[in-house]
Structure 1
């Protein structure tokens, strides 16, 4: 039972190995009453903004110097052209949602319509994409690529869904873009200055003596992208749940996080505790074992070997599963 529990835990953690390598997202907002421009558009690659435009600007962002190929300049022209369409459909969604939710009078003073579309390239070569819409922070609409239809998240989105699906030619273009051209855009935007590629986390153990116990902290820093999983495994490889921890940015664009476990004084030197970190920049995991300086070396090695074998086995299962379920 214990091994099964650890197996399930590491299976969940192992999903981080397939975290994105490159991720290109477009974000569009149409709002009133928040002191924001009526319409904004932003295209981001791995957390770096590579294109921005809003309705308060007289002109759109010119093609940057780092785009110096014919294909790149053509893609930039496409971004400009689709910006007009994005503003139109965002305004249409805003107006439809406001009307369907019956937000009139003072209720119409502050509302915001948001849309996002992303395509992601994973280290194993898998490519995925999605398009979602939200109104006032709640799910409103999404695009079903296979059926080439919109899916209403709430009854109030049905009207907007109907309006968008009347233009079947545009839906075909959007689906085609996210299935193929978005990957081309990823390859072009990878040249953008400031875009970070995966960076391996540094993991260290910090001790802090307290009355009756020792607080042992696993500090993980210098990693990118920001998605990371870490867990403490206590005696007999049992998970030690100490709650959720925040992932914070470093000045160099990487990220850091930490998680602590409180060890009673009587357990110091009697048991080992292992901090297991999984991140897309490493093939398996990074494990640091703490034993209060007194635990036997054999126990440490047994813990490491067990964790490695479990993670390796799960990695094969996840690899088989993802290769079976491929691209959109």
Structure 2
């Protein structure tokens, strides 16, 4: 059953610009009942679920408006059914310690109207099952054989459901959530741009931080021409909800002193250009506190980001140490079919 609050948002216009996303991440571990999930809209977490509480819960203030509606009941029901599916289709074929992940979602560009969708499963960190929305088939790139692949492809109703959800319902839900969280998600924070270097012979980093939203373009230029031999780092979250990213330039000091190198940053708030000169570079050789702290904070934040990504897995490991290896009974066929026919999937 769809949320009545969400339905009221249909057709309401919003002023967001650019690409938006709705993503879900599920994590389960073999041997017991541990299972948890998170949902993110534009890379901001808005929901959380774990099998111990058996309740999907809002994680942001702007989404609490629908806390008492049928939306969360539907989310909870779907997640419990997904947990049952993993227990009875994956862990019955696995011995030892393993991790199973499911990620799915959709993207929508409100400027071009272009959409994209995906659903994929991972086994011990490797791609396991991928839903090909063109052929309506599940494909598996790994050599290990699982009956789950055959079961998924035989469940044609389930394949049809996921195709419809990802291409239509997911986009609708994304638009509704964007409207609901407009005041928070529409905020704009201009990036801070710095040129960093460990020492005179090290690569030069164009470090961009404290920007929101996450859409950003970073380019290294040489005499007005875009350079291709650069290393683009991952988008990382900051503790305050903003983001950071680093693009590394591999060049000799003599070369950038004889030519004009610049880092061009394009964000919806503003376009920045930082020209590479000795005056602009901040290195470990300098004595000012901000320089040293910036260089040190980068790897720390990377570590925090990685911890965020694997937070669900870490939580599950902790739960395993507290619990015995209890495995729930198989769901009935009617429960399995109800998960396929559910109108709102988490």
Q: Does 1:25 align with 2:23?
A: yes
| Partner of residue 181, structure 1 | 169
State the shift of 1:230 in Å.
Answer: 2.6
| Partner of residue 234, structure 1 | 222
State the shift of 1:115 in Å.
Answer: 0.8
User: 3-state SS of the aligned residue for 2:185?
Assistant: coil
Contact kept? 1:205, 1:218, Cα under 8 Å: yes
Aligned with residue 133 of structure 1, among 121, 130, 137: 121
User: 3-state SS of the aligned residue for 2:131?
Assistant: strand
How big is the alpha-carbon RMSD for the aligned residues of Structure 1 and Structure 2? 4.0
Higher alpha-carbon Rg: 1
Contact kept? 1:97, 1:157, Cα under 8 Å: no
The superposition leaves residues 12-36 of structure 1 with CA deviations (integer Å, 9 ceiling, x where unpaired) of: xxxxxxx963211122222136xx9
**TM-score under structure 2 length normalisation:** 0.60
Q: How does 1:103-182 map to 2 (within 5 A)?
A: 103=95, 108=96, 110-123=97-110, 124-157=112-145, 159-182=147-170
Q: How does 1:199-210 map to 2 (within 5 A)?
A: 199=188, 201-202=190-191, 204=193, 206=195
The farther-off stretch of 254-263 and 270-279 is 254-263
| Structure-2 change in CA distance of 1:220 and 1:85 (3 Å) | same
The superposition leaves residues 117-142 of structure 1 with CA deviations (integer Å, 9 ceiling, x where unpaired) of: 11111242211110000111111101
State the shift of 1:290 in Å.
Answer: 4.3
User: 3-state SS of the aligned residue for 1:156?
Assistant: coil
User: 3-state SS of the aligned residue for 2:144?
Assistant: helix
**TM-score under structure 1 length normalisation:** 0.63
For structure 1, list consecutive stretches of 5 or more residues without a partner in the other structure: 1-18, 294-328
State the shift of 1:96 in Å.
Answer: 5.3
| Structure-2 change in CA distance of 1:292 and 1:121 (3 Å) | same
| Partner of residue 9, structure 1 | none
| Structure-2 change in CA distance of 1:263 and 1:292 (3 Å) | farther
Q: Does 1:196 align with 2:185?
A: yes
Contact kept? 2:54, 2:80, Cα under 8 Å: no
Q: Does 1:288 align with 2:274?
A: yes
Q: Distance in 2 between matches of 1:214 and 1:165?
A: 52
State the shift of 1:253 in Å.
Answer: 1.0
